[in-house]
Amino acid sequence: MLHFCYSTVIDAPIKVVWSFHERADILDILTPPWQPVQVISHQGGLDVGSVSRFRLWLGFFPISWVAKHIECNKPSLFVDQQITGPMQYWIHRHQFITEDQQTRLTDSIDYEIPGGFLVEFLIGWWVDSRLKEMFRYRHQITQEYCKN
């Protein structure tokens, strides 16, 4: 299993950062424009049971990705799990911690790439670099929308 973690201090109180993530259009805002990802739907906000549907493009091939929220502890944590998609396993924790009137936003993901250890060894570095690029963008956008 692979692990990814990205953390940033956002210059805003935790309530502001959490509220930003509750927006109905949050997935459209946080999806980097260069990524071949289309948001199909997002239902239920951040609550347990909410479902997000995406279409990813690998070249000319569309892949369906469905994620369901399995844990929510407002305003400090929500967790989503891949129900269907390109990964063998995917759990994404979104954590919000107050630090001196600011908020530490941490995204951590445990995941497995289909194909086992050899495939993870060969392309895990590439997946990690794509995740880093995406979360750098997401945290930057969060900072811009939320800053005091």
Which phi and psi (to 5°) does residue 45 adopt? 65, -135
Q: Around Cβ 47, how many Cβ atoms within 10 Å? A: 12
Nearest to 112 by CA among 80, 88, 84, 81: 88
22 pLDDT above the threshold of 90: yes
The reported pLDDT for the residue numbered 148 is 63
Architecture of domain 2-146: 2-Layer Sandwich (3.30)
**Strand (E) or helix (H) holding 67:** strand 61-73
The pTM (predicted TM-score) of the whole model is 0.93
